[in-house]
Amino acid sequence: MLKYGFKQSQADHTLFVKHSSHGKTTAFIVYIDDIVLIGDNVEEISCLKEYLAKEFEIKDLGYLKYFLGIEVARSKDVIFICQRKYVLDLLKETGMLAEVAIAVSTVSQFMHAPRTSHLEAVMRILRYLKSSPEKGLYFSKHSHLSVEAFTDADWAGLVTDRRSTSEYCTFVGGNLVT
C-alpha cells in the first residue's frame, strides 16, 4: 500500500491514509482479514478496490454495518454507532442476561445503602442496559472541524478519602470523540 501512495499511521500501524492533490482523503484500516475503507474521494476508493481485487480475493460488503462489535447506521448527514448487539451477545454468552434483568428490577433495594463509587458504577451500568442498550454516539455533519476541549476537576472532593477527581471531553467538528 505504501507503493500505491498510502502512508502508514505511526499511532496505529493498521491504518493507512492517502491525501490527494485536490484536498480529498482516503483511508483504510485492516483487522486480520477485514478492511474498512473510508474517505471523500469516491474515485480513489473505487481504484483501491480494483487494486485490492487484483492482489487478493475480496468481497465488497457495501456500506459498513458492523465491525469489531460496533454497529454502524448512517444517513446523508449523520453516522450513529453503538455496541448494543455486542453487549447483548456478551451478556447472553456469559449467562448474565437474566441476571442483569433481575438486578435491574431489584436495584431500588440498594438505594438505601451507602453509595460507594463501585455501587454507583454498577447501578449506572444496570440502568443503561435496561433503559436503552441501543444508546450510542451520533456524529453529525458540520461545516467546521474545530477542536473544542472541556475539563473539570474536583480537588479533594471525595469525602471518604479526599481524593481528587477530574473529567474531560473533546469535540471535533461539534462531535464528541473523547
Q: Is residue 93 part of a domain?
A: no
Q: What is the pLDDT of residues 75-105, one digit of tens each?
A: 888 888 888 777 777 777 777 766 666 555 5
Q: Does some domain include residue 51?
A: yes
Instruction: Tell me which residue range forms the domain holding 29.
Output: 1-62
Task: Classify residue 26: in a domain, yes or no.
Answer: yes
Asked whether residue 9 is domain-assigned, the answer is yes
Q: Is residue 175 part of a domain?
A: no
Specify if 58 maps to a domain. Answer: yes
| Arithmetic mean of pLDDT, 27-50 | 90
Domain count, the chain: 1
Does a structural domain hold residue 21? yes
In this prediction, residue 107 carries a pLDDT of 46
Instruction: Answer for the pair 126, 116: CB distance below 8 angstroms, yes or no.
Output: no
| pTM, entire model | 0.58
Indicate whether 118 pLDDT > 60: no
**Domain-located, residue 89:** no
At 125, is the pLDDT very low, low, confident or very high (cuts 50, 70, 90)? Answer: low
Whether pLDDT at 130 is above 70: no
> How distant, in Å, are the alpha carbons of 85, 104, 114, 123 from that of 100?
15, 6, 21, 11
